[in-house]
Structure 1
Amino acid sequence: MFDRFYCADKSRTEKQHFGLGLSIAKELAELLGGKIGFLETEGGGATFYLTLPVS
């Protein structure tokens, strides 16, 4: 999901979104020594989290 240009639904033809948001967030989290991830949400969907070290 955090890979560049990830597309879960191949039937989407809308070209307004390029699939870079989560890959950029992952890069920034790693550069700052943090983590990014997600958990499945009951009833569908996902909850994303970002943790960063406190210095």
Structure 2
Amino acid sequence: MSSHGDRLDKADDTMDRVTVRMDDWQIAAIDQLVENGAYANVSEFVRHAVDEQLEADHV
């Protein structure tokens, strides 16, 4: 994985893959949101959740 120490520019349109471990119930809930059309796919959900948290933390 590449270093992102100075890559906080939101205009940077390159994306890296990140692997996370989650509880089964979390994965099932995300899958349900995707199936219901709330998000196009799991990646979109994760990007949205991360963006929301970064904004809440004023990053």
Same fold (TM over 0.5): no
More strand by share: 1
Q: When the two structures are superposed, what TM-score results if normalisation uses the length of structure 2? A: 0.28
Instruction: Give the number of the structure with larger relative contact order, counting CA–CA contacts within 8 Å between residues 6 or more apart.
Output: 1
More helix by share: 2
